[in-house]
Structure 1
């Protein structure tokens, strides 16, 4: 059966239908989302987008944490998004608004990794990890396509951002804000975004290149022990910064590549997870 999927970000929501087997994605709508609005406004905007999908078989939803993916309760605070949803049962409210009781939530970084395992860079790999880098860093460690969150071979909850590096939270070393901060500290000038830093590096700006290399060297140093413990054979990078992979690949001294489909991997992963769980 085709799977209806929502992917929720900090500023937008994407609605799509995913066909199992071929994993073709038909994007139905991409709408702006007022993530800092009141809970009822956010629910209304999500429901308006979801109603454009065929919901007879239920709905899979990929979204960032902190979120209780089992109960559907949001725990966002100080994230710059969804602060009004703290302690709010998004699953119950959205299910009631849409008149459906089959909703399945999934962490967006895990959805990305499962999508890449299903139809992307790490397809069928026995042991792999997906890393998404944007405003923060998300990770998912997969064993035969199943997310592993517990045990001493993965970081706490399987989430690398919960670890420290050089005595600080890892995201102080590798994230969009970390890259921008390091660039400003190195050059004395601010860049509007990581894309602009990457563009400058491609144009021959050595400071821009050095900043990107330094940040991804930190990522490699922080990630490497976990790759060894888990027995990872390949790492796939996603998120907005994956577009700079050509500039930073040399900093990663382990088998790694960037996703070829930044738009659809999480949608495919959420659909695959839904099919496993809800059949």
Structure 2
């Protein structure tokens, strides 16, 4: 049996778990979650990450091959160097070699620590253990503070092809006169609700609760689904996607926008992730499969 640790880094949290490669599954009772001060010093953030990983190590009785880490961008995934800057999260890590910094804090060599984009990790996890495993061509998106996206063929992210946007990114594409990231995100939903109602809500959960009795709030989600479908139409067609997998906090409101989204994408299978954050952990842990890592290394340089 071969085991590794998958890690999902968020702006305000870190979560990790042990992964067993032959059965493509996470090991029960090894999951660890810790909150992170995203505005803390580099040392404080790295210490918190290391403590979470060590907690998972201590829960295991197995020999561990290494660690795969799903990181938000911008990030140099091949070399393990953070490029996060001028953001409201983790900015103190700018230009820090995360691979070396974690190796100093953990019982692993730097070569045993590997990185991948968080949206790509989510999509890979869904393609090997979720609803995407029965399809060769998939698009996975995460809807939350921003729009994450990944185009996959046979469980490998596609980032440099004529029928895929550069880098496989959608957040920086235009929808009308706005960036997609400003429309298909928490701030986009909240801004549209304010535009049509004059009322303010603080988050998507509050808006979703209002939608159970407030037709204006429901209309906001329906608008979101319809516009998202319009936006994705050409990408789905050009890539030849067989399935669309949706994750992120906004996906929890799928019952309010899914019908409108599906009507814009007839014939396409659409699933809401059941793996949740575990998908990114699965996708990052797979990096310790040397055959998979060898094949994906050229792609990591493009992320």
TM superposition score normalised by structure 1: 0.94
Runs of 4+ more than 4 Å apart:
none
Answer whether contact 2:122 2:277 (CA < 8 A) is retained. no
**2: distance between equivalents of 1:274 and 1:233?**
28
| Deviation for aligned residue 1:174 | 1.0
- Give 5+ residue unaligned stretches, structure 1: none
Secondary structure of the equivalent of 1:31?
strand
**1: distance between equivalents of 2:87 and 2:249?**
18
| Deviation for aligned residue 1:89 | 1.3
**2: distance between equivalents of 1:274 and 1:155?**
28
| Deviation for aligned residue 1:163 | 0.7
**2: distance between equivalents of 1:278 and 1:30?**
29
**1: distance between equivalents of 2:31 and 2:282?**
14
Q: Which moved more, 1:266-275 or 1:30-39?
A: 266-275
**1: distance between equivalents of 2:288 and 2:260?**
36
Answer whether contact 2:10 2:71 (CA < 8 A) is retained. yes
User: 1:211 corresponds to which residue?
Assistant: 220
**1: distance between equivalents of 2:26 and 2:53?**
19
Secondary structure of the equivalent of 2:167?
helix
Answer whether contact 2:5 2:64 (CA < 8 A) is retained. no
User: 1:50 corresponds to which residue?
Assistant: 53
Q: Which moved more, 1:127-136 or 1:219-228?
A: 219-228
User: 2:143 corresponds to which residue?
Assistant: 133
Secondary structure of the equivalent of 1:160?
coil
RMSD: 1.7
User: 1:261 corresponds to which residue?
Assistant: 275
- Give 5+ residue unaligned stretches, structure 2: 58-62, 296-303
**2: distance between equivalents of 1:159 and 1:103?**
25
**2: distance between equivalents of 1:181 and 1:235?**
26
| Deviation for aligned residue 1:173 | 1.3
User: 1:30 corresponds to which residue?
Assistant: 33
Secondary structure of the equivalent of 1:88?
coil
User: 1:71 corresponds to which residue?
Assistant: 79
Residue-by-residue CA offset, 1:38-73 (whole Å, 9 max, x unaligned) = 111111111111112337411111121111111111
Matched residues, number: 278
Pairing partner for 1:174 from 184, 199, 205 = 184
User: 2:252 corresponds to which residue?
Assistant: 243
Residue-by-residue CA offset, 1:235-271 (whole Å, 9 max, x unaligned) = 0000111111111112223221211121311111112
2:9 paired with 1:8: yes
Answer whether contact 1:174 1:216 (CA < 8 A) is retained. no
Residue-by-residue CA offset, 1:190-212 (whole Å, 9 max, x unaligned) = 112101211221x2311111111
Residue-by-residue CA offset, 1:122-166 (whole Å, 9 max, x unaligned) = 113111110001100100000111100012211120010121111
**1: distance between equivalents of 2:275 and 2:6?**
16
